[in-house]
Amino acid sequence: VMGRLSLANVILVVCIAFYLAALALDPSAILRMRGLMDLLSPSGAALYVLGMTGKFAIAEGRWWTLLTAVFLHGSLLHLAFNMAIGRRYLEDVVELYGGTRAWLIFIVAGATGFLMSNLASGAPTVGASGSIFGLLAALIVYGRRTHQHTVAQQLWISAAMMFAFGFFMSGVNNWAHAGGFAGGFVTAEALAFNGRREHPVLVGLAWLLALAVA
């Protein structure tokens, strides 16, 4: 079902909708621009209301923020970059694994990334980049398991470059990137390709996670 609806488009629309909702909750934040990276940045208060995660969220028992924070973004450039890169990888993972498995990889990777971030640093955080690293890991798993070693090696290089890039920019959550990659890798390893046939248990789990996000 998710494949037919175009999972990439659904996630894109949801992320844009929540970005606009965050701006609408606190319009004054639009004027508080400190630089290009802060262009049209929602306020921390608005992101908190919509499901930002961090050590504070876990202390408050807001476990669901591990899921909701995946669909929130801290600025226009943050949203645009994640959606451009994420769409590319997500479409590839849907093609190789099927829509249900791709959704499971995406959301489990994102939640795992935020869990690692909350345990390691605890800083308030949002964004789909952990999920994107998980998608990249899933492509590496596919390349390795299908003996496409050159492709897998190129993807490893891409992952390393993207991870290294995070150290040269402020505000980048490298813990979430590392956790997302690990979560995506393990989830992809646990899923059989099986001709992309979607097992009822996986479909049920996918819808359960979608409802949890909602």
pLDDT of 15-37, one tens digit each? Answer: 999 999 999 999 887 777 666 56
pLDDT, position 1: 46
Q: Is the pTM of this model over 0.85?
A: yes
**Residue 126 CB: number of other CB atoms within 10 A?**
29
Q: Which of 41, 75, 131, 177 is catalytic?
A: 177
Does pLDDT of 4 surpass 60?
Answer: no
Yes or no: say if 89 and 130 are a contact pair by the CB < 8 Å rule.
Answer: no
Yes or no: say if 32 and 49 are a contact pair by the CB < 8 Å rule.
Answer: no
pLDDT, position 107: 97
pLDDT, position 2: 46
pLDDT tens for 152-208 read 899 999 889 988 887 877 778 999 999 999 999 999 999 876 555 778 889 999 999
- Establish whether 129 is a catalytic residue: yes
Mean pLDDT to the nearest integer, 73-80? 93
HEC secondary structure over 87-105: HHHHHHHHHHHCHHHHHHH
pLDDT over 90 for what percent of the chain? 69
Does pLDDT of 127 surpass 80?
Answer: yes
Report the distance separating Cα 140 and Cα 84, nearest Å.
Answer: 19
pLDDT tens for 77-123 read 999 999 999 999 999 999 999 999 999 999 999 999 999 999 999 99
The mean pLDDT of the chain is 90
pLDDT, position 168: 77
- Establish whether 177 is a catalytic residue: yes
pLDDT, position 172: 86
pLDDT, position 34: 63
pLDDT, position 166: 78
pLDDT, position 194: 59
Report the distance separating Cα 117 and Cα 177, nearest Å.
Answer: 9
pLDDT, position 35: 60
pLDDT, position 66: 97
Half-sphere exposure of 26 (CA within 13 A, CB side): 15
pLDDT, position 143: 93
Does pLDDT of 3 surpass 50?
Answer: no
Mean pLDDT to the nearest integer, 57-86? 94
Q: Which of 75, 129, 131, 199 is catalytic?
A: 129
